[in-house]
Amino acid sequence: VRTRGKAGKGEVSNASPRVEDAVQGSGVSAGPEDVEDSEDEEGSETFYGSLDGSGLRIGIVVARFNELVTRPLLAGARETLSRHWVDVDNDVDVAWVPGSFELPVVAKAMAKSGKYDAVIAIGVVVKGATAHYDAVVGATTSGVLNAAIDTGVPVVFNVLTCDSMDQALDRAGGKVGNKGSEAAATAVEMANLLASMREVGSAAPTWRPRTRAMELRRRIDQVMVWGNTQPILPLRRAIWIVTGGIWLCAAYCVAAVGMLLTIVFAPFALQVLRISLFALDGGITLEPYIKTLSFSVQGGSFLDNPAHPYTIAGNIVWALLFGWPLVLAHLSAALIQALTIVGLSTAILNVKMATYVIWPFGRSLRERALPTTLEELDRLREERAVEKSTQRLYASNV
């Protein structure tokens, strides 16, 4: 994003959110809101890096040593890249090296290849009783920095330097968050920032092709946030009710009675009644598109554990008796709602509900605020990415 002339608050209100620098303790911020508003000279340029990663190619080099930590960091980075519309299946390459000391040479090779818009170096160094820690940290830090300076390609430093393994785990999806996610957002922002700067004075600006899937996803995002604004939101509720909300709710109530009559799977009847309330409301308070419908991975009772044999059996019985008719009902309602145009976002939610209802038990239902801007939707996705990484790390250690 480039602005010309005076950069006031009104002109930067849609700039990308703050992303803390991946180099720990550096104190460097990467978000435009950390830059004080100033009056530029007429004709000057102000540059901000977009967080839209469509068309970007990212290289990631990961240390195999302390893999218990580096794998969650890699997972967090890949998930965040996907949420920023990077095609992680085709445009993200990962190279594994023995340890953090070997990161700079491979990171520089990736940067020099010309294939990547940014590179992320992921590693963990835990302090021990000898001076080996200081030597590795110093060499790795300077090596990664020099790789970026020498090639002109952003090389994001995502090497955790911790006093203990507990500190490292806390930063790999634990209570402090996932630093891999932060590094990924920084990589996207820096790649776009440098690209916008290179376009200045160029007769033929660089054009980055967007894949059709990424374009479609962003279009759907725009429809979703538009559907959450006034007066569209009340219209969505009305459309849902008129096009089958009441009947869907009634169908779920009948299904709840059916599960109750099975005796064996009666405990799941309460979950079905909860879904019926969301069906009556139009799924709006549920907002499944931002992934508030999700598997629980924390274990515990069978009601919260999709892998529990009893829960699996309950889902099979549900799918055979009630699940598939309700899936057809949701898809039919979605088609009718899509034809109203105003109900497009509601139709998308109905499709999401259809994918949920075929196998509902052991999954969680969460209520969250409805995003009304793309920036708010991106922030909610970031929060969800960190939460999911934390859950996975917890599950892997149980």
The residues assigned a catalytic role are: 132
Q: What is the DSSP string of 15-40?
A: SPPP-B-SSTT---B-SGGGSPPB-P
Q: How many whole angstroms from its chain centre is CA 315?
A: 28
Q: What is the DSSP string of 196-237?
A: HHHTTT-SS---PPPPHHHHHHHHHHHHHHHHTSTTHHHHHH
Q: Is the dihedral of CA 55, 56, 57, 60 positive or negative?
A: negative
Report angle CA 268, 271, 277 to the nearest 5 degrees.
145
Asked whether 81 and 188 are in contact (CB, 8 A), the reply is yes
Nearest Cα to 271, choosing from 301, 241, 299? Answer: 301
Going by the DSSP 8-state scheme, the letter that residue 301 receives in this structure is S
In whole angstroms, how large is the CA radius of gyration of the chain? 24
Half-sphere exposure of 71 (CA within 13 A, CB side): 8
Structure token pair of residue 397: 């250690």
Classify 166 as helix, strand or coil: helix
Asked whether 332 and 269 are in contact (CB, 8 A), the reply is no
Phi/psi at 369 (5° precision): -65, 145
Nearest Cα to 318, choosing from 366, 365, 254? Answer: 254
Other CB atoms within 10 A of residue 176 CB = 14
Find tokens 């990664």 and name the residue.
144
Q: Max CA-CA distance within the chain?
A: 76
H helix runs in the chain, sequence order: 67-83, 103-112, 132-151, 165-170, 179-198, 212-227, 232-240, 246-261, 269-281, 309-318, 324-339, 344-357, 374-397
- Give the C-alpha separation, 252 to 272, whole Å: 6
Other CB atoms within 10 A of residue 298 CB = 12
